[in-house]
Amino acid sequence: MRRRMLRIACFCAVLAACSNNDDLSGDWIGTWSGGGDGTVTESLSQSGDQVTGTATFTGSPCWNAAQLSLVVAGNNVSGSGLAGAIRVDMSATWSGDHIDGTFESVSGACIGTGTFALDRQ
């Protein structure tokens, strides 16, 4: 009985540890570059494969905040950010507490491409 309880406790601890990294929900901070450079912070919420949230930027001549709508498929994340008339499409890979990606501004005054990297806070 004691061993069984220990196994159950270990199993629950492993599940809890894994669940923290199997979901993009939370706060992220990092950098972006392309047509300028600066910092980016994101606050994300995941439900199933859908992720929504907000992003704030420094160093961009075009925008300082955006609403995010993303989709997760395995360790791939894709979607877009909207700030008024400006839309930025993005694609990234994530592993645990780190995301690396690319973006393309497809509308608005700052059309172009770039990269970003984020770490979970």
Domain residue limits at 91: 23-120
Place of tokens 């877009």: 80
Structure tokens given for 2: 């004691």
- Looking at the structure of the chain, the number of domains it has is 1
Structure tokens given for 49: 């494969």
CA atoms within 13 A on the CB side of 22: 7
The answer to whether position 5 is within a domain reads no
Per residue in 38-58, pLDDT tens? 999 999 999 999 999 999 999
The answer to whether position 2 is within a domain reads no
Per residue in 77-107, pLDDT tens? 999 999 988 899 999 999 999 999 999 998 8
The percent of residues in the chain predicted with pLDDT above 70, rounded, is 83
What is the pTM for the complete model shown?
A: 0.80
The percent of residues in the chain predicted with pLDDT above 90, rounded, is 69
CATH of the domain at 80: 2.40.128.120
What is the DSSP-derived secondary structure letter of residue 5?
H
Give the model's pLDDT for residue 107: 84
